[in-house]
Structure 1
Amino acid sequence: MKHRLLLPLLLAALLAAPVQAHEGHDEAPAAATGQALPRFAASSELFELVGVLDGRQLTLYLDHAASNAPVQGATLELDFGGAKLKPVPKSEGEGQGEFTLQLEREPQPGLIPVTATVLAGNESDLLAGELDLHAHEPAAPAASARWKYIAAGALALLGLGAGLRLGRQRRAAA
């Protein structure tokens, strides 16, 4: 008797109308339009430093760890993969806690150690992190994810067909 109830329940589940989203939830999420830039983060009890690499341009963001507020009037010294560098703070009006630096050449793919010495007023700290730089890989097209849904639907239909056939064989044998 259990088998007789299972098949109609499976059919009802497969044939049920799709769930409708509420207002504002029916739009597809925005697709990424480009590659994310490589970045690293280093933090301590006092400061948080995030670095974003765009080719040879390195942009650094320095914040207070407790409040996430930009650190004003700080100076940075950076050891980037063994090279001693001095990032330049952006001007007062543009961005507090933001520094830029132009590298001599683009870094090679791999793991690059980064150490920053922070001096801000009477506070100083040493922050360490790593930049995991990968070779540029072409982004996969968004449509390639659809095959998973198609494969899942095909498997569900194969399972339903096998269940129906098994049910017919059992009825014929009885």
Structure 2
Amino acid sequence: MMVLGVDDANSIATQSNDRNWRKAAELDFSPLQSNTISLECQSQITQAQLMDFRRDSMTASYGDPNSGFSVVFEDDGRVAYAYLLTPDAYIVADVWLYNRVGMSVEPEWHDRNLMPFANPSEFIRHDLSFDFPEAPSDISVTWNASEPLVPTAHVHINGELFGRLRPGSKPGWSLMAAKDGPLALILDQA
């Protein structure tokens, strides 16, 4: 089980925010090709370690005991992301999961002060409704591996698959993505 402190969480947010800013500035909208998962490792889900839980924000970590990788879920009360971390806490994938704030028409990625970025309306599915997670127990992560020590993380909110992360997937796949963009790719349910 991975326990992160406030400094670790701030480092993760800084790494991701700097990378998101560079990626958004490049405006590379090309989707990543997904690989077929050949080996499924149903690992025992470790209990989430609550790092910060207030009425409007939550950050928690979910580890894979087989690979040592972990997923950090972060909802800052405005927007939620998931980050895939190596055993040495380096971010190798991230995905936007949902906005809590009203949807804007204009993208935020032109203003670094707004990081982490909310997704604009054109990139968000409007045909889905869901309950926001209220506690780390509302979030779960399952792990699959296509090759040894290269996990794929499946992020579930209230039992529903919401995101997928693989090393190098920047961005990853989100259920709420209406089209591929710099913050998330469309999640296929296959």
TM above 0.5, yes or no, is no
The TM-score with structure 2 as length reference comes to 0.28
- Greater fraction helix: 1
TM-score of the two chains, using structure 1 as the length reference: 0.30
Higher Cα Rg, which structure: 1
RCO comparison, higher one (Cα < 8 Å, 6+): 2
